[in-house]
Amino acid sequence: MGRTFLCLLLLIALPAAAQIYKYTDANGHTVYSDHSPEGVPSQPVELPPLNQVATQPPAAPPANADTREPARSAYETLELTGLPSEEALRANNGTFTVGVLIKPRLRPPHQLRLLLDDEPYGQPSNLPTLQLVNVDRGEHRLAVQVIDGQSVIQQSPPVTFSVQRVHKP
């Protein structure tokens, strides 16, 4: 059976224009070949036409899509919530939480990762509430990314905010 399977694979791999012959070898096995052996009765094998699949051109990205990041619109809404826009964030020990507004809901295996001052912060999570700990006082930039492993799927616009902490001498 293994030999017959190998012969069938050989048949598939041969060019469509080649003639295939079938004969029985000295051991009684059926053999398929691209040539008729001398002194051995053989029969030409008629093969049905090969199946053909037309290739489809890739779908054109939307007119406003960034071709470097085709998954840019994976989520219609991705933004941070819970940060004051007009005043400083009061966090005496520099610890606070932010929310993530994401629509549609986060899909597995995607996770959320914060960027604090353009650097990854903390561990990725699948929860829409993220905590920051011991953030220095002063002005910072914060954004959230949707990631799949190490690949960035989408990033929110950065939000600039100030942290106000109790200063202990």
In this structure, the answer to whether residues 151 and 107 fall within a common structural domain is yes
Residues 82 and 41 in one domain: no
Q: Each residue of 120-141: pLDDT tens digit?
A: 999 999 999 999 999 998 999 9
79, 155 Cβ separation under 8 angstroms: no
- At 18-47, the pLDDT tens digits run 688 888 888 888 888 887 788 888 888 887
Q: How many domains does the structure of the chain reveal?
A: 2
Q: Give pTM, 2 decimals.
A: 0.55
CATH number for 146 = 2.60.40.10
